[in-house]
Structure 1
Amino acid sequence: MYGIKKVAELTGMSPITLRAWEQRYGVIIPNRTEGGARVYQQEDLDDLLWVIHQKQAKKITVKQAMELLRKQKAKPLSETIDYRYFIDTIFDFLTSYDIRNATKLTNQLFTIHDAEAIFHHIFIPILVKVGDQWESKDLTVAHEHFISHFIEQQISQVFYGLESSGKHGKAIAICPPNEMHQIGLLLFSLFLKKRGVDVIFIGENTPIDAILTMLKKDSLDIVCLSVTLASNRNYLTALLSELEKEKQSPSIVIGGSGASKLPEQYQHFVLDGDLATWERWFEQHKQ
């Protein structure tokens, strides 16, 4: 979250102009604190940068750019961006180890579109494409590691740069021992943090005792787990059994390709699907 002075600094606009745009066009409207101070979310900042970019690149008025933004927000991302082009282009850059151009194009996308949507609609399909081509021997392990690290770093930067109000509780995000794939968990952590959940991202190799200790000490509301290895079934079963014994059992959500291997009694904790599915889950479980 950003105050109006910080947004003015990041956009190159004056606070007076920001307030005028808000009152005149009614498209980008920040939240307010109890004291009346404006609080801009990352999406608000992205929208302002988009309007500025449209105004300069297309030589149009602020009013026209705001109207374009209004219409764009009424459409899904797939109708406002040719994301297949960006999937293929960034993929080609990364498979050529061209980090400079991949980063440049990614940063350009961040200035005109919501980062979370970019991760879901562009970066996750890139990972799927990498996995398919790795299995067909068209890509090497080095490619897979390089691209995965790049995408994880992009999500991490947004995650750690985002402040959370903690309005909807506290969560812990963990992987069982020996799990090396945590991008999905990190993306879900960003999803929660963006919606007002204070997320403690632990990641891989988290012992059960450490989780239970944190649960008692920090009053966790949500426990997020990601599992890909079938060998971690016993770990998860033991952890879930312990969590169910807690007097105030937290909400549990499990993702990853190994989640389907859990016993039937725990399948209701499994969450997969797209961003819309996550949104529905959050509405049901938010504090």
Structure 2
Amino acid sequence: MRALRFFYMHAMVYVAVNALLIGFHLVGSPHRPWSGGPLVGWGIGLAIHGVMTWSRVGLLGRQWEERKIAQYMAQEQVRTLSTEKQLVEARMRLLQAQIEPHFLFNTLANVVSLIEPAPQKATLMLEHFIAYLRASLAASRATQGTVAQEAKLLRDYLALIRIRMGDRLHYSVDVDPELESMPLAPMLLQPVVENAIKHGLEPKIEGGRLLVRLERRGPRMLATIEDDGMGFRPSAGAGVGLSNLRERLAVLYDGDAHVRIEERSPGTAVLIEIPLPRAF
């Protein structure tokens, strides 16, 4: 920047002196207005000075250029993140809309098997199944839901599983009332609960207990999905589900949400920390 300032001062002096000399020659020697030969050499020198200065620091200065480059790169990064977020959300909506065939077939088969021996139970199972399907369909079409809607979806899902597993499954879904209206991406927790049932409790002969708890921890919400089942054993399905969850959280919360898995004795706990909106 010092070199650039020096060049601008040089140019201003040249212009001032040039104007004075031209004025002097126009008044004193009107027939030879351009007789100031030294000015030509000075002008050439100034031009060379300018080329050397601009080639080194740029027309408006290196800091200005670096600032413009940084702004451009920031804009490109925001544009890229926005595109990635749209792609991830589109993929997640597609996944939300897909109910696993084995879950659908097992549920309908259980309903059929209960119609004659326990019609009331079959009716209850159908009611929960319809509620679950309705909530899943609404979630697949939405980009934003609430904690209360997610909790209702989980209760309908677990009520279905409870009818199927009977006394082998005990569960609770506890939500801090202050968090019920908090915005939450649809079906964010449901895959984690499904993994806990499928990989933790169903393979266990005596079944077990599943606890879902959503509570406030300062400026963050902590969602805990805990079971006393078989423990965490990485498998293809569970690994993909957790990978999708981490990717979705990273895009939704710009890397400010975290997932961790803790081994319990017995069982597993998945803890998800999500930043609260400013309104909360």
TM range (shorter): under 0.3
Give the TM-score of the pair, scaled to structure 2. 0.27
Larger strand proportion, structure 1 or 2? 2
Q: What TM-score comes out, normalization by structure 1 length?
A: 0.27
